[in-house]
Structure 1
Amino acid sequence: MQDIYLENDATGLAALVASGEVSPDALLDCALERVAAINPALNAVVMLREGVAREAIRAGLPGGPFTGVPFLLKDLGAEAIAFPTNNGSALMRDSVHRYDSELYLRLRAAGLVSFGRTTSPELGIGPVTEAQVYGGPTRNPWNTDYTSGGSSGGAGAAVAAGIVPAAHGSDGGGSVRIPASSCGLVGFKPTRARLPEGPGAGEGWGGMAIDGFLTRSLRDTAALLDAVNGPDLGAPYFPPPMRGTFVQALATPPRKLRVALCPMTLSGTPVHADCAEAVEKTGLLLESLGHAVEPVKLPADLGVEEMMVAWTRIVACGTALSVRSVLGGTPLDRDLLDGVTRGALACAEQVSGADYLQAIGEIHAFGRRMAHLLTQCDVLVTPTLAAPPARVGQHKPENEDFMDYRTGPGGVFEYSPFTAVFNASGQPAVSLPLHWNAAELPVGVHLAMPFGEDEALMSLAAQIEAAAPWWDTQQQLVARLG
């Protein structure tokens, strides 16, 4: 049974359940056995609720595209009454929600069997998952000396290790795409407001945050996005309507595209040789598929660094709001927060209302500049990260100078200069597992398209997956872990 479980993606497992060849209980047994065997080395899965999952199966699962498939929610967001959360923080340990989020309701209606949560850095801050509430870092199953990424680092590790075929994540600055790159997975960030955020939040981080998924196959990502697609009632933003579905886009060959290749940062500085190589290889692949590939022409006034300063101020204020809402006026025990979170609070205290609005204005202006850049091409191809996965501890959340942690020398922005760009602009972007370096660590390639072009991006990604499939490489890790 374990072999069947590990040899199939979520779509394949759902088909086996539908045909009666396997049962939801048997699949859940496999997932729990995998947690017991592998999670101690990874520290990726927390808040197990086997009883909730068994009761959902006994009550009769909805008939959906993933009926009977085991699933994990991120320990941040996806609010659900049956699934307490830490939000990655000792301050918020075992918090209980009084409502089910729209996202969770749609996931449940898809037939998924949620049975636990996956680790996150405190309140989603950072490209690594090393929050104190979990008693240690979350590690990369390809090599446990390295990080699985963040903030959906637990989801990335759990999926790459075969604990589940797919897991929930969220992305406010790359938090789906960073672990996708680090763990050799698919991570798709849709256009702003494509997915529901309510009822607990009207927007996250000034509209930059959105939910998503970590998967091993593109078809799982497409079907999961279809299952939750569409903003909830009263959402403050609304995306351009789609012409069809994500799954339909998989079967639609892309037209000949103008590809802008960028094997450097969007400021024109070099990246690690492994990351540049991954982009160059992808350019050759796209050229062989008939697309017109040219080096990107970066405008001198794009202003990525200025955008990241604004992004950091907005995130600091969002973090302060989250902490304040939990405290409810009671004094803060600073020892319950990681150093980076304490730094975010201090940073937020220096941001006035006018400063915040100025930061929002800079984000919006940057989005217009990025929209203009993408009129000169159909797709922008970069590395997902500027370096292969970082070693555990390299970005440990201890620095109490929040601006320095994010934008200083050796900081987060230097390591991850690409992903937050598209949270700021709202444009769709995907990290695909197209390269592994000599150390057998994954190196993701990042593709972004204009606002609203989710289907075109999915079509191109499907063409790439068919031409350069990654499943067998992923399965080598799953088999190695036993």
Structure 2
Amino acid sequence: MPDSLASAALPALDQDEYLEMDATEMAAAVSMGELDPAALLGAAIARCDAIDPVVHSVNMRHDAHARAHLRQLASAGLLRTAPLAGVPMLIKDMNTYLAGTKTTNGSRFLAGGEAATHSSTIVQRYEEAGMLVFGKTTTPEFGLATTTESALWGQTRNPWNLGRSAGGSSGGAAAAVAAGIVPVAHATDGGGSIRIPAAYCGVFGLKPTRYRTPHGPGAFEGWFGASCGHVVSRTVRDSALVLDVSHGRERGSPYWLPAVPRSFVECQAEDPGPLRIGLVSAALTGVPLDPEIAAILQATARLLEAMGHRIEPAQLPVDPASLFGAHGAACGAALVTAIRDREAAAGREATADDLEPITFELYQRNKASTAENLFRSRRTFDQVAFAMDRMMEQYDVLLSPVTAIQTPALGDFGLNQPYASYAAKMMGSAAFTVVANVSGQPSMSVPSGFTADGMPVGMMFTAALCREDILFSLAGQLERARPWTLPPTLSEPQP
């Protein structure tokens, strides 16, 4: 089939066929001329039109951009050669840019800003690989919550239970994948924002090693490297394939990692062999583990032992106060900078009417932070990384829950509550995830079971710096042993 936008010789794609395919299968079918990429994009758009009015995971649509990019791929003869040709893609509406469109960071104060003059490097790489970006996904204001609810875009619902949170801050991405709108969606993780939504929505989510994926152009790290971009996906191989096409140094960046000896797709297809796995069951925040989460953790450990892995109890060598203090200082400084940049562009100061209550309070608190405090926090990042690197000499992987709590109800974790209530709830939802952000380690959420009321639960696996290969191999092994599924059909959902 010649590269074209449609072929009369190819059948249309119905929703059942679309939902059966992951991104890897879609791209293979397009490259072999068996699937019309225009029909593939059309099926994604149709699914979004049918499902998203209930789930609320996509806040901006860029259908025309995706169709124009498809024409460019066809004209350049790339539909047969691009590794992800024709695969529909959504990007997170958080510090990630698509030329000619706005990025709001989930904030009313940023919604009136100018359209981006350039695309982020990671978006450029997705599009160079043939992906078709047709929208953006929801996020809480400035990514400050572990639920995706905002005054600007409303509540994002969990496809497994429309009264529950989809997690945050990449809740829109995880909900879109779980709802079958796309097989894979861009996401970012600065404190658990890939892994928490993946755990709540029953999809796979891997945070790569810091600096594995590009963060620019212009700014080459987020939160001292704590924040990284990658994807949430339905299958492990999709995550591996997208990382294969998106990782690597970008022009101008002072940070990059050693070359990867082989593809991540190859890694996920092979069992890792016996691993030494440290079992971390105590939350650094001191929050008790929900009994059902604890039971799934133990069941996962038993499964791993049956696979031939060795499980040993482990304790993190990290001071909680230093860890969370340093992480809070980094994200607080980034918040102040983002708001002041917008104030300068708008020609006025932000008020309590512009920002959600928790955001406004965090802004006021962090404006008084000193240069010494920020410097000491950056030094803590190094100390945590060193301590965790030494710990990983004993283990190949650490196993823990993603969160200490079950998936919360919508409205419980938003940014419109008293600060003390917000802080206490964050201690339960981000009890395990922040360590890997501060240390820079790769870490993933793997669907691992269900609570009694039918909500998915993810378990977290963390490896040493630059060892995504181990994580992909282990995730692939777990996926083959215990495949996960999408939630029950949302063809006629009821709020």
Same fold (TM over 0.5): yes
Q: What aligned pairs does 1:275-424 form with structure 2 within 5 A after superposition?
A: 275-299=293-317, 302-328=318-344, 330-399=348-417, 401=419, 404=420, 408=423, 410-424=424-438
Q: What aligned pairs does 1:465-480 form with structure 2 within 5 A after superposition?
A: 465-470=479-484, 473-474=485-486, 476-477=488-489
State the TM-score, normalizing by the size of structure 1.
Answer: 0.94
Given the alignment, which residue of 271, 275, 291 partners 1:257?
275
Residues 388 and 442 of structure 1 are in contact (CA less than 8 Å); yes or no, is this contact kept in structure 2? no
Residues 310 and 360 of structure 1 are in contact (CA less than 8 Å); yes or no, is this contact kept in structure 2? yes
CA distance in structure 2 between the partners assigned to 1:297 and 1:7 by the alignment: 41
- Indicate how the Cα distance of structure 1 residues 42 and 266 shifts in structure 2: closer, same or farther if over 3 A, else same: same
Cα displacement (A) at 1:77:
2.6
Q: What does residue 456 of structure 1 align with?
A: 470
Q: What does residue 444 of structure 2 align with?
A: 430
> Among the aligned pairs, what percent are the same residue?
36
Given the alignment, which residue of 235, 241, 266 partners 1:223?
241
In structure 2, runs of 5+ residues without a counterpart are: 1-13
- Indicate how the Cα distance of structure 1 residues 266 and 480 shifts in structure 2: closer, same or farther if over 3 A, else same: farther
**Pairing 1:77–2:95 present:** yes
Q: Secondary structure at the match of 1:466?
A: helix
Size of the aligned set, in residue pairs, is: 473
- Indicate how the Cα distance of structure 1 residues 360 and 20 shifts in structure 2: closer, same or farther if over 3 A, else same: same
Moved over 6 A (4+): none
CA distance in structure 2 between the partners assigned to 1:27 and 1:261 by the alignment: 42
Aligned alpha-carbon RMSD (Å): 1.9
User: 1:24-43 deviations in whole A, cap 9, x for unaligned?
Assistant: 22122211221221111111
Q: Secondary structure at the match of 1:395?
A: coil
Residues 435 and 442 of structure 1 are in contact (CA less than 8 Å); yes or no, is this contact kept in structure 2? yes
Q: What does residue 25 of structure 2 align with?
A: 12
Q: What does residue 131 of structure 1 align with?
A: 150
Code of the residue aligned with 1:29 in structure 2: it is G
- Indicate how the Cα distance of structure 1 residues 480 and 250 shifts in structure 2: closer, same or farther if over 3 A, else same: farther
Worse overlay, 236-245 or 444-453 = 236-245
CA distance in structure 2 between the partners assigned to 1:69 and 1:478 by the alignment: 22
Q: Secondary structure at the match of 1:335?
A: coil
User: 1:8-54 deviations in whole A, cap 9, x for unaligned?
Assistant: 11111112222333212212221122122111111111211111111
**Pairing 1:106–2:125 present:** yes
State the TM-score, normalizing by the size of structure 2.
Answer: 0.91
**Pairing 1:248–2:266 present:** yes
Code of the residue aligned with 1:119 in structure 2: it is T
Cα displacement (A) at 1:298:
4.6
In structure 1, runs of 5+ residues without a counterpart are: none
**Pairing 1:29–2:48 present:** no
User: 1:220-265 deviations in whole A, cap 9, x for unaligned?
Assistant: 0000001101121232322243221111111332131111112332
CA distance in structure 2 between the partners assigned to 1:477 and 1:390 by the alignment: 22
Cα displacement (A) at 1:270:
2.9
Code of the residue aligned with 1:140 in structure 2: it is N
User: 1:147-201 deviations in whole A, cap 9, x for unaligned?
Assistant: 0011111111111000111110011111111110010000001111000111131
CA distance in structure 1 between the partners assigned to 2:287 and 2:145 by the alignment: 22
Residues 100 and 118 of structure 2 are in contact (CA less than 8 Å); yes or no, is this contact kept in structure 1? no
Cα displacement (A) at 1:210:
0.6
CA distance in structure 2 between the partners assigned to 1:376 and 1:201 by the alignment: 35
**Pairing 1:149–2:167 present:** yes
Residues 87 and 132 of structure 2 are in contact (CA less than 8 Å); yes or no, is this contact kept in structure 1? yes
